[in-house]
Structure 1
Amino acid sequence: MSGETGQTQVEAWFRNREWEPFAFQREVWDAYTRGESGLIHAATGTGKTYAAFLGPVIEALSEPIRQRTPRRRADAAPLRVLWITPLRALAADTEQALQQAVEGMALPWRVESRTGDTSAAQRARQRTRLPTVLVTTPESLSLLLCRADHASLFADLRCVVVDEWHELLSTKRGAQVELCLARLRALCPHLRTWGVSATLGNLQVAADTLMGLDATGMPRPARVVRGVVPKAVVVESLVPETMDRFPWAGHLNTKLLPEVIRRLENAESAIVFTNTRSQCEIWFQSLIAANPDWFIFTAIHHGSLSRAQREDVEDGLKTGRYRIVVATSSLDLGVDFAPVDVVMQIGSPKGVARLLQRAGRSGHSPGRVSRIVCVPTHAFELVEVAAARAAIEAGAIESREPLDRPLDLLAQHLVTLALGGGFTRAGVLAEVRTTRAYHRLTKEELDWVLAFVMHGGDTLRAYPEYAKVQYEEGTYRVTDRRVALRHRLSIGTIVSDHAIAVRYLTGRRLGTIEESFVSRLTPGDTFIFAGTPLEFVRLRDLTAWVRRAKKRAGAVPRWAGARMPLSSELSAAVRDMLEQARMGVFVSPEMQAVKPVLDTQADRSVIPRPDELLIERTETRDGHHLFVYPFEGRLVHEGLAALWAYRIAQLAPLSFTFSSNDYGFELLSPDRAPLEEALESGLLSTAHLLHDITNSLNAAELARRQFREIARVAGLVFSGYPGQSKSAKQLQASSGLLYDVFANHDPDNLLLAQARREVLERQLEASRLTRVLERLSRSDVRVVEVERPTPLAFPLMVDMTRASLSMEKLADRVRRMTVSAERPTRSGSASVFRFGPKDAPPAGKKRRVRK
């Protein structure tokens, strides 16, 4: 049977379902049959799954019937297609979609999944024979590579599909996929690899990273296929009837709830997206409190809920049992359900790609318009929505950069290979260098990691528990069964604050919350979780035992890593939007609504130009304030605030308190800071940046905390056996002790260096911080003396007091601050300084400030 016949059968199956293949799908199928690999980039809901999968199906249909038809059901074709998904929640839906195609073409293939949720019986069956199509996660794939017979398991593999590659790229899980692909390509030299991605700016980099390099170090050919189906996206906002001139983060909170309810009342189905799990719980409770009758068709979905509850919600969306779901990013990705009528976004999306991804859940099919309604939680988020819309129209989508040599993950992978039959030094060096993540790995770095997995390095050589890999006759192997078991239980890169199970006294599991939250509870306390008020009874065996609470009010758990900064692309779009406002252009409804706020800002100070850094100074009874507005995102501003405080303190013995948000940061000191002198001395310079940042923060303590994750991934600490997990305090103590040992006796330890790099990049976005300083050093610096805080300064002042006050006391304080801020200021009370690139002095001379 010819290749054309195989594609004819596929197209006939499409016609039977009243579908028509798109040109980009045919392009992928043709490329696959020619032996090519690549990356598919298309909007959500436009057929990427079948574009990637039906190439191998066409290939099978083109083979002689006797070659693809087994004599018995038990002889079903061996593993041919491996589908890697980043989320276990996606595996079931993907398996179902692939199964429909296989059955529709009458192929004698088994389609199964293998994740942490797979039953013990199915895993046992897969030990003897894998299905023809296997849907799995990076962690489960690594577990398969631990098997000594993995070479024979993958001997007939033809194709690997990596789904949602944009979510894996730039993470350690993405690097883990790269390493696994390198192993599979070594086993199957003609393996074809296809990635599936949406909403990504640097497509060619993503494709090259997925393909890796060949044996000569040259990039493998990668075809980038773009979906040609136009996908219109409509972004709108709910605008408050009245707008406070001095807004602060969260001041709208759920004040727009009545308008949200009106939108939801007329929707057949809706998803209300929030940025954090805490916000998700709050909005679910608010909807139910306002409409108790909605409880039967309204649900909550986030990553800390139990798998059973999440699956129930996903099934309810498919069947129509649930009409409204309040969710986090747990529903961002390709969980398959019917398109919803209304998608809402609570608060700023913080990124253009995230807004597009969530908008794609409506109109989730080719040719339909995707719509999303944004609900601001403070006035300036209206500016962000308008900026995001403009960025979408301009095609300014965020890029994601791959990681460079995370050695903790390499150590884990080497133990996997040693357990899976063993490896040689030369062989593994050549293999891992074919990945983008490790193509610059030096022989010295590899030797250091080999010594680490063999005996923990020179410092830990005396402790047998760190001797995992044995070197015998030129091959590295794992021979200890205890080491093998602990390694299998520890595979993966996902590390967070230790999860505490939440169970009713009857035993039913609700999900997990972080240990840091539970540690603050006492018996009888009420908290809200899984959309339900719960009374805390006791903590025992790493389980929070609860019962339903009689009262509806209670604390909402907070999870680490919840606050997301503005992306670089959205930050730039916000600066452009403010420039239009400075010029008196207010086109969008969002900008028209926020015009009174920006008019007040312009009246009391200025709206800065994109090439201008605005600094406002004022004095209150709390002290002397500096408000600085780079508009570059919260993480960058946290780093800048610490850096400025350190550099200014080198000129005058001042102590600073600082706060930051996505627009700027505040420095508060008891005495007036020598700002102009600091600017002359290189306050905005990138020189000695690493040294100054390290000294401006408690970098050693931050690295010590980050080392806990690295120690866990590298296998230095063990989380415990099932049912005997260690607490977060125990793990932190163990990793902290190891950190101190290395810092004191092995300061050149490569894992310590990695911890320092990850702190700078993850917590401060150091590379972005460098680019920001370079931009600011080329900008005019405008210093404005203001009599009272401006609208841009007001939320920073609120954040400064937030940590020490309850929400009720904070609201009272904010009301008093608002009354004070609303008082008119004297005309002409501002004095303006300009400090720009044209004032740059010759090398070795100070800059000058002109008044």
Structure 2
Amino acid sequence: VRIRVRTLGGKKLGSIEEEFLERLMPGDRFVLGGKVYEFVKTVRGFTAVVMPAYDEKPTVPSWFSEMLPLSYDLALEISRFRGKMFEWLEKGVRGQKIVDWIMKNCRADHNIANAILQYFTEEWLYLKSRGVRKYPSDRVLMVEVFVDEDGKKYVVYHALFGRRVNDALSRAVAYLAGRRVRRNLGIIVGDHGFAIVYPPGVQVHHSYLMDIKPEDLPSVLKKAVERTELFERRFRHVATRGLMLLRRYKGTETSIRRRQFNAKKILEAVRELREFPMVKETFREILEDFMDVKNAMEVLRKIRKGEIQVVMLRPTKVPSPFAHNIVLQGMSDIVLMESRRQMLARLHNMVMKVIQRESYAIQNGDN
């Protein structure tokens, strides 16, 4: 479903997808037609009202609706693979032995296996250069803080649990952090982790993930989503299934715009009735279908029990190789005329300068 976008003065700007609108909150900034706009509100359900923010930076990354999320179980297997790779590198296993294992067990050709080894080697050397001796895996959740040239801070959680689990964890962390700093914080979510984006000048607090009790996560998420576009639009789906909204009236099919408008009016009347069946089902659909609150709670339980150790890194102006993809999602709309490949190359060059000394020291030690 396409959502029309216009300014406060009524000027038409274009359209966005409904799924993208679900992720917006008042104050969020995004790029449309090469320009930055700040989301204000929706009108009659299917018109997003924005205001120009040309001199500001986007807080919401580009939307990729066709990407399917990684399952939690598969994500854990990849995390274990990460742990095995770092264990070998730490023990001094090098080169062809690792490449052969990757080719055999991952069904990869020689070039891909070499690329994987190089990727992990660069992450390993980068972390060693920063004095880190515990690496991202199924037993270690690493948190790093990248500060860009404008002072914006990306708190990157290397949480390889799949996008649905990370969506739940990131929204809970952003909600608690946003309440503390009294600002609307950006969220970047992916299968391999997530980031909370703080504007310049705002102090970073990254202990929220450890502070959330597993049993409290559903209630925190309900508070985080209850006033969002996501909740309003999911309520429309639920109300339609529950026959509170009619698809057809007097032999004529009702438009989605009309159903959304009616759903909003109904929601205004029943929003505070938490036990109202349609409200309960909307929360359930968001937490269990859109997100994966069950496995997110399992992650928090493992952190509480010490089965997953959270390792914090000091703020830096050079993000680790594992953080590049997450950071690029947040930066891809900022440098509008620079290609993603060029941005990635620039970040990679920054990393290589950091790890050169560590690589030289290891080579001398081997000799």
Q: Is the 8 A contact 1:717 1:731 kept in 2?
A: yes
- Whole-Å Cα distance in 2 between the matches of residues 647 and 742 of structure 1? 25
- Kindly provide the amino acid, as one letter, of the partner of residue 675 in structure 1: H
Q: Is the 8 A contact 1:684 1:776 kept in 2?
A: no
Offset of residue 616 of structure 1: 1.4
How well do the aligned residues superpose, as a CA RMSD in angstroms? 3.4
Q: Structure 1 pair 805/699, CA: closer, same or farther in 2 (3 Å)?
A: farther
Q: Which residue of 2 aligns with 1:400?
A: none
Q: 1:566 aligns with which of 70, 80, 93?
A: 70
- Kindly provide the amino acid, as one letter, of the partner of residue 780 in structure 1: Q
- Whole-Å Cα distance in 1 between the matches of residues 68 and 330 of structure 2? 19
Q: Which residue of 1 aligns with 2:232?
A: 704
Q: Is the 8 A contact 1:788 1:825 kept in 2?
A: no
1:502-533 Cα distance to aligned partner (Å, 9 max, x none) = xxxxxxxxxxxx9969xxxxxxxxxxxxxxxx
Q: In the alignment, is residue 588 of structure 1 matched against residue 102 of structure 2?
A: yes
- Whole-Å Cα distance in 2 between the matches of residues 787 and 599 of structure 1? 20
Offset of residue 826 of structure 1: 4.0
Q: Which runs of 5+ in 2 are unaligned?
A: 3-15, 20-62, 89-97, 128-133, 359-367
Q: In the alignment, is residue 674 of structure 1 matched against residue 196 of structure 2?
A: no
1:540-562 Cα distance to aligned partner (Å, 9 max, x none) = xxxxxxxxxxxxxxxxxxx9964
Aligned to 2:188, the other structure's residue is in SS state: strand
1:309-330 Cα distance to aligned partner (Å, 9 max, x none) = xxxxxxxxxxxxxxxxxxxxxx
- Whole-Å Cα distance in 1 between the matches of residues 179 and 269 of structure 2? 32
Offset of residue 718 of structure 1: 1.9
Aligned-residue sequence identity (percent) comes to 16
Q: Which residue of 2 aligns with 1:576?
A: 80
Q: 1:796 aligns with which of 314, 317, 326?
A: 326
Q: Which residue of 2 aligns with 1:783?
A: 312
Q: Is the 8 A contact 1:598 1:607 kept in 2?
A: no
Q: In the alignment, is residue 773 of structure 1 matched against residue 287 of structure 2?
A: no
- Whole-Å Cα distance in 2 between the matches of residues 747 and 608 of structure 1? 39
- Whole-Å Cα distance in 2 between the matches of residues 827 and 516 of structure 1? 43
Offset of residue 626 of structure 1: 1.3
Mapping for residues 600-749 of structure 1, pairs under 5 Å: 600-605=122-127, 607-622=135-150, 623-653=152-182, 655-669=184-198, 670=200, 671-675=202-206, 678=208, 682-699=210-227, 701-720=229-248, 724-743=252-271, 748-749=275-276
- Whole-Å Cα distance in 2 between the matches of residues 772 and 829 of structure 1? 36
Mapping for residues 256-335 of structure 1, pairs under 5 Å: none
Mapping for residues 815-834 of structure 1, pairs under 5 Å: 815-823=342-350, 824-826=352-354
- Whole-Å Cα distance in 1 between the matches of residues 197 and 271 of structure 2? 34
Q: Which residue of 2 aligns with 1:12?
A: none
Offset of residue 732 of structure 1: 1.0
1:624-675 Cα distance to aligned partner (Å, 9 max, x none) = 2211112001122122122112333455445421201100011221234133
Offset of residue 820 of structure 1: 4.1
Please tell me whether Structure 1 or Structure 2 has the larger radius of gyration of its CA atoms.
Answer: 1
Q: Structure 1 pair 810/640, CA: closer, same or farther in 2 (3 Å)?
A: farther
- Whole-Å Cα distance in 1 between the matches of residues 124 and 156 of structure 2? 15
Q: Is the 8 A contact 1:647 1:683 kept in 2?
A: no
Q: Structure 1 pair 747/817, CA: closer, same or farther in 2 (3 Å)?
A: closer
- Kindly provide the amino acid, as one letter, of the partner of residue 601 in structure 1: E
Q: Structure 1 pair 714/798, CA: closer, same or farther in 2 (3 Å)?
A: same
Q: Which residue of 1 aligns with 2:44?
A: none
Q: Which runs of 5+ in 1 are unaligned?
A: 1-496, 499-513, 518-558, 831-851
Q: Is the 8 A contact 1:565 1:635 kept in 2?
A: yes
Aligned to 1:668, the other structure's residue is in SS state: strand
Q: Is the 8 A contact 2:122 2:355 kept in 1?
A: no
- Kindly provide the amino acid, as one letter, of the partner of residue 731 in structure 1: R
- Whole-Å Cα distance in 1 between the matches of residues 250 and 68 of structure 2? 33
Offset of residue 722 of structure 1: 11
Offset of residue 582 of structure 1: 0.9
- Whole-Å Cα distance in 2 between the matches of residues 515 and 656 of structure 1? 22
Aligned to 1:583, the other structure's residue is in SS state: helix
Q: Is the 8 A contact 1:659 1:800 kept in 2?
A: yes
Q: Is the 8 A contact 2:139 2:309 kept in 1?
A: yes
Mapping for residues 830-841 of structure 1, pairs under 5 Å: none
Mapping for residues 444-455 of structure 1, pairs under 5 Å: none
- Whole-Å Cα distance in 2 between the matches of residues 687 and 781 of structure 1? 19
- Whole-Å Cα distance in 2 between the matches of residues 652 and 710 of structure 1? 34
Offset of residue 784 of structure 1: 2.4
Aligned to 1:718, the other structure's residue is in SS state: coil
- Whole-Å Cα distance in 1 between the matches of residues 140 and 247 of structure 2? 50
Structure number with the higher helix fraction is: 2
Offset of residue 573 of structure 1: 0.9
- Kindly provide the amino acid, as one letter, of the partner of residue 567 in structure 1: S
Q: In the alignment, is residue 598 of structure 1 matched against residue 120 of structure 2?
A: yes
Q: Is the 8 A contact 1:656 1:667 kept in 2?
A: yes
1:480-518 Cα distance to aligned partner (Å, 9 max, x none) = xxxxxxxxxxxxxxxxx59xxxxxxxxxxxxxxx9969x
Offset of residue 772 of structure 1: 1.7
How many aligned residue pairs are there? Answer: 272
Aligned to 1:644, the other structure's residue is in SS state: helix
Q: Structure 1 pair 578/621, CA: closer, same or farther in 2 (3 Å)?
A: same
Higher relative contact order, structure no. (Cα contacts within 8 Å, ≥ 6 residues apart): 2
- Whole-Å Cα distance in 2 between the matches of residues 740 and 651 of structure 1? 27
1:208-263 Cα distance to aligned partner (Å, 9 max, x none) = xxxxxxxxxxxxxxxxxxxxxxxxxxxxxxxxxxxxxxxxxxxxxxxxxxxxxxxx
1:363-385 Cα distance to aligned partner (Å, 9 max, x none) = xxxxxxxxxxxxxxxxxxxxxxx
- Whole-Å Cα distance in 2 between the matches of residues 672 and 800 of structure 1? 19
TM, length-normalised to structure 2: 0.64
